[in-house]
Amino acid sequence: MSYFSGKTVWLTGASSGIGLAMAEQLAEAGAHLILTSRRAEVLEQVRSKLAHPEHHQVLALDLSQPEAAAAQAREALGDQVIDILINNAGVSQRSMILDTDLKVYRQLMEIDYFGVVALTKLVLPRMVERRSGQIVTVSSVAGKVGTKLRSGYNGAKFAVIGFMDSLRAEMHEHGLVVTSILPGFINTAIAHNSLSGDGSTLGKEDPDNASGISAEECARQSLQAIAKGKAEVVVGSGMSKLAPFLQRISPSFVRRMVAKR
């Protein structure tokens, strides 16, 4: 993918799952990566295994504290030019509304929504000044279709899609590209790392995600969409890929379907 060659790409959630697969493919494509997740030591291991490791840098941030993370990133990056920001970091949820503490909803919003807003606002002024750049956010099919056990995750991902739609409209006159990626069921550890009702980690597999496409295939399709400057793309297979389309043409059918699952 020659589109990424020589470009500086800031990638969050780079230590595992879709983010790790993106990092590997971007490095092979010749991108210069800024790798972000919470743990610097894990990111260093990732960096050392990528193609051309000397071209990449590590920037560990805790996006559950968006303001602090943005301030830390501003100091670390200085005037460095960011060609593409890929907001990929996120956490999911597996708990019924009746069993979910308010603090869990707040944590999901901080990471999955406010983290995106904070980093986007950090890089946006320079991109507007240069009239060049691309903002990408990995949202989810869960940002289009609400389901059981994911009320906080759904809420945060719906919010992200709304933010990205507004950003796209506002950035059109500045020549920037804004891309939303909506993965369906992807075979990653997202369920293992999901929050339970009390905020603890679920720690077990979700059959839906286990049956999904690989992180590598998701990354490949996502990067193709980014390179083509797509506004929004759904990535996945089966019902999880069809769900947003069905939601548009037959919302009553989708409501019945998710209520029965």
Q: What distance, in Å, lies between the first and last C-alpha atoms of the chain?
A: 39
| Of residues 207, 89, 97, 115, the one with CA closest to residue 152 | 97
DSSP assignment, residue 184?
-
Residues acting as catalytic residues = 153
List, in order of start, the domains of the chain with CATH numbers: 2-260 (3.40.50.720)
**What's the confidence (pLDDT) of residue 208?**
65
CB of 91 closer than 8 Å to CB of 16: no
Separation of alpha carbons 41 and 100, rounded Å: 32
Crossing angle of helices 215-227/17-28, nearest 10°? 60
**Tens digit of pLDDT per residue, the chain (261 long)?**
799 999 999 999 999 999 999 999 999 999 999 999 999 999 999 999 999 999 999 999 999 999 999 999 999 999 999 999 999 999 999 999 999 999 999 999 999 999 999 999 999 999 999 999 999 999 999 999 999 999 999 999 999 999 999 999 999 999 999 999 999 989 887 877 889 999 998 888 776 666 689 999 999 999 999 999 999 999 988 877 877 777 788 878 778 888 887
Q: What is the pTM of this model?
A: 0.94
Residue 195, beta-bridge partner list: 93, 201
171: how many CB neighbours lie within 10 A of its CB?
Answer: 18
Q: For the chain, what is the total number of helices (H) and then of strands (E)?
A: 10, 9
241: how many CB neighbours lie within 10 A of its CB?
Answer: 18
CB of 31 closer than 8 Å to CB of 11: no
Separation of alpha carbons 59 and 96, rounded Å: 35
